Amino acid sequence: MQNNNISGLIIGQNTIYLDKVASTNDYLRELLSKFKPLAEGTAILAEEQFQGKGQRGSLWISEPKKNLTTSILLRPYFLPIAQQFSLSATIAIATANWLKTKVEQPVAVKWPNDIYVNSKKIAGILIENTLKGHNINSAIIGIGININQTNFDTTSTITSLACLTDRTDYDIKDLARELYLMIQLEYLNLFHKGSHHQLNKYNELLFWKGEEKPFLIAGSEQKGIIQQVSAEGKLKILLDNRLQEFDIKEITHLIS
């Protein structure tokens, strides 16, 4: 089934601004549950999010009024369930490409959808899909990006736009509007060029690709070389000269 209105989609045209919220994803989901029609591209932008979600059930901790915390509603009816990882890849590509316009340092996507600059995490993405038949009915795209915050509990593995550019006066709303436009561009690429095209772009941005690095697998440290991510979203690593595939809960990057 094709989404024939995608050409007229403007992400962020309807943006709901919040001073404080537990989770922008939860807030958007609650709006959807109230049976009030919500236009595709609707965005939630919060100054403070105090129970933001990350991958594997972790929390995204954000200092109030310092970072970009947003959720976006998409309706990718055109995307079969089997290709749902390509939506995650598309959002990661857009976020990484947007960051490339802000920093000179190398930007990469750490599988499945964290964004890293100089081997430090700057952004995280969490996508929650609802399904209908064989396709995706709706997707809530949650994105958290460290912007003006400079103090972190674990400074060795986390960074921000401020840390990378020595600026702490970024306007979050202006940055969000730029990000929305970049997401719209890549979302249109997904629609017109397809999942395979987006997966190739994602793999070009892949963190640690082609390098021998340490991973935690089944409780033990092993060194392997990332080859690519499959269409199903599995990480393919060369271990002891044998190519193996992993789901997100089966392997951890050991970043020092």
- The CATH number for 111's domain is 3.30.930.10
Q: Domain count of the chain? A: 2
One-letter amino acid at 32 equals L
Q: Region 163-188: what's the mean pLDDT?
A: 97
This prediction has a pTM of: 0.93
More confident residue, 156 or 99: 99
Whether 1 maps to a domain, the answer reads no
Looking at the fold, whether 174 and 217 belong to one and the same domain comes out as: no
What one-character-per-residue DSSP string does 66-120 give? Answer: TSEEEEEEE--TTSBGGGTHHHHHHHHHHHHHHHHTT-SS-EEEETTTEEEETTE
Q: Are residues 107 and 123 in the same domain?
A: yes
User: Does residue 90 share a domain with residue 216?
Assistant: no
Judged against a pLDDT cut of 90, whether residue 135 lies above it is answered with: yes
SS3 234: coil
Backbone dihedral angles phi then psi of residue 177, each to the nearest 5 degrees: -60, -40
Q: Which uninterrupted H or E stretch holds 214?
A: strand 212-217
Which pLDDT score, from 0 to 100, does residue 63 have?
Answer: 85
What is the structure's pLDDT at 256?
82
For residue 240, what are the domain limits? Answer: 212-253
Element (H, E) at 138: strand 135-145
| Listed range (61-65, 112-116, 166-170, 227-231) with the worst mean pLDDT | 61-65
Task: Give me the mean pLDDT over the 135-163 stretch.
Answer: 92
Mean pLDDT of 231-241: 97
- Given 204, 220, 236, the domain boundary residue is 204
